[in-house]
Homo-oligomer: A and B are copies of this chain.
Amino acid sequence: MKYLNKESFFISQFDSKLIGDDGAIINHEIIVGDAFFENVHFKRNWLSLNEIAYKSVAVNISDIYAMNAMPKFAILIIAIPKDFSKENLIELASGFKQAEKDFKFEIIGGDTIANNKLDISLTVIGKLIGKPLKRNGLKNKDFIAYTGIVGNSARDLDRLLKGWHISKKSIFVKPKLQFKFIKRSANLFSAGLDISDGLCSELSHLSKMSKIGINILKKFNRKIGCSGEEYQLLFGINPRNLKEVLAIGRATGTKINIIGRAIRGSRFKNKCKPNHF
């Protein structure tokens, strides 16, 4: 569950365990739910209907992977604009069907309604592969690292907001999830979460939930720290596992960026502005 500004107050009304990991853990299942709403997460002229459907799934699968799980089933609640044509519906459905194939899960139910805009709510049920990756496991002296390249999503969002075009290969269009790397290395991590609200935001969650400070070893700029919707993995590693994790990174062709280390001290503070348009 995300906690953005005023929404955190609503969530705070419930049992505090809601404000926790990327997904809820029930027995050996991981359950995640994310909204992907028009004019909140995307504008209709930014992405094709196929891309919108696909991305709405990918942002949920990212949470599943980040918990060290594999997706199995999904419930799709979708509000569709009244003026959509049959061709629109076919294109929209094709994005979901491609995602089902790529991520190896099945949409098993849900609800379809007519609405004034395209609003997708997806709940995904996954199965744990090994131990669940949580946000509260970071220990003193653990290294902190993230996968891949971070920073391009905000850049491309900025371009879209200026009315420019972006590449179809942009991770803003199609997030690059790191399943191979996570699957092989998650049991070596002390903590993990996906970078959905931005690197600095996730570092603050990690620090708060693990009740430990973070010493930044490698400075990064605001463009990297404040870029949301990156969907790379942020994780903690006990120093004795570092060599093995780096080897898995090399073996899977995954860039590993070591950026910090856990230290006793005050919590990491996120100074980015909220990521909304």
Residues of A that sit less than 8 Å from B by CB: 1-7, 9-11, 13-15, 17-18, 23-24, 26, 31-35, 37, 39-41, 73, 75-80, 84, 86, 89-90, 92-94, 96-97, 106-116, 119, 121, 123, 125, 276
Q: Which 5 A-B pairs have the closest CB atoms?
A: A121-B121, A13-B93, A7-B112, A33-B75, A24-B108
Whole-angstrom distance between the alpha carbons of A18 and B93 in the complex? 13
| Extra A-B contacts (17), CB below 8 Å, given A26-B108, A34-B77 | A3-B112, A6-B114, A7-B113, A7-B114, A13-B89, A17-B108, A18-B107, A18-B110, A24-B75, A26-B125, A33-B75, A33-B77, A33-B111, A40-B79, A77-B123, A79-B119, A121-B121
Assess whether B31 is in contact with A115, with CB atoms less than 8 Å apart: no
A201 CB to nearest chain B CB (Å)? 15
CB-CB under 8 A for A2 and B112, given A14-B96, A90-B13: yes
Whole-angstrom distance between the alpha carbons of A1 and B94 in the complex? 19
Contact of A31 among B4, B23, B125 (CB under 8 A): B125
A275 CB to nearest chain B CB (Å)? 12
Q: Report copies per complex.
A: 2
Whole-angstrom distance between the alpha carbons of A208 and B13 in the complex? 44
Which of chain B's residues has its CB closest to A26's CB? B73
Given the complex, which residues of B lie within 8 Å of A31, measured CB to CB? 73, 75, 108-109, 125
> 23 A-B Cβ contacts within 8 A?
A1-B112, A4-B113, A6-B80, A6-B84, A7-B113, A10-B78, A10-B92, A13-B94, A18-B107, A18-B109, A23-B109, A31-B73, A31-B109, A33-B75, A33-B109, A33-B123, A34-B77, A34-B111, A77-B121, A77-B123, A121-B121, A123-B123, A125-B125
Given the complex, which residues of B lie within 8 Å of A115, measured CB to CB? 37, 40
Contact of A97 among B11, B13, B35, B119 (CB under 8 A): B13
A262 CB to nearest chain B CB (Å)? 26
Assess whether B119 is in contact with A119, with CB atoms less than 8 Å apart: yes
Given the complex, which residues of B lie within 8 Å of A40, measured CB to CB? 79, 113-115
Whole-angstrom distance between the alpha carbons of A169 and B106 in the complex? 40
Whole-angstrom distance between the alpha carbons of A14 and B90 in the complex? 10
Whole-angstrom distance between the alpha carbons of A97 and B14 in the complex? 8
